[in-house]
Amino acid sequence: MRKNSIKSTRINGEVQRALAEILRGGIKDPRISPLTSVVAVEVAPDLKTCKAWISVLGDEKAREETYKGLKSAEGFIKNQLARIVNLRNTPEITFIMDQSIEYGVNMSKRIDEVIGGGQSVSSDKES
């Protein structure tokens, strides 16, 4: 199976959807933040391993606690994934913390601050 084939894209999408569903409603661990999302999933061509990029909105402590909770719940998550997605092999999941959403929110705030500062300067010149 090639990396960008239709089959691999479909499997990645299904696994991502299933992981998001499991994280949203299936795990009762209080360490896992409710503001956790699955950004991307990459399943290996042999379906043995899977990398899941996880984003947590919050501070560093929330990210660390969520990561610890996900690591301890790996077996449960794999079991639930096997129930939801019908694959020949259920992949071993490796969680990778992704900070791209937080980075984007931070950049958006900075851009708004610069634009907001620029508007107040231009309005002073017009007066």
User: Residues 44-65: pLDDT tens digits?
Assistant: 888 899 999 998 887 888 889 9
Average pLDDT over residues 84-112: 85
Query: Cα-flanking dihedrals φ and ψ of residue 37, to 5°?
Result: -135, 155
pTM above 0.75, yes or no: no
State percent of the chain over pLDDT 90.
29
**Of 67, 62, 82, 68, nearest to 22 (Cα)?**
82
Which pair of structure tokens corresponds to residue 15? Answer: 């696994």
pLDDT tier for residue 119 given thresholds of 50, 70 and 90: low
Exposure string of 3-42, with b = 16+ CB inside 10 Å and e = fewer, is eeeeebeebbebbbebbbebbeebbeeebbbeebbbbebb
CA 19 to chain centre: 9
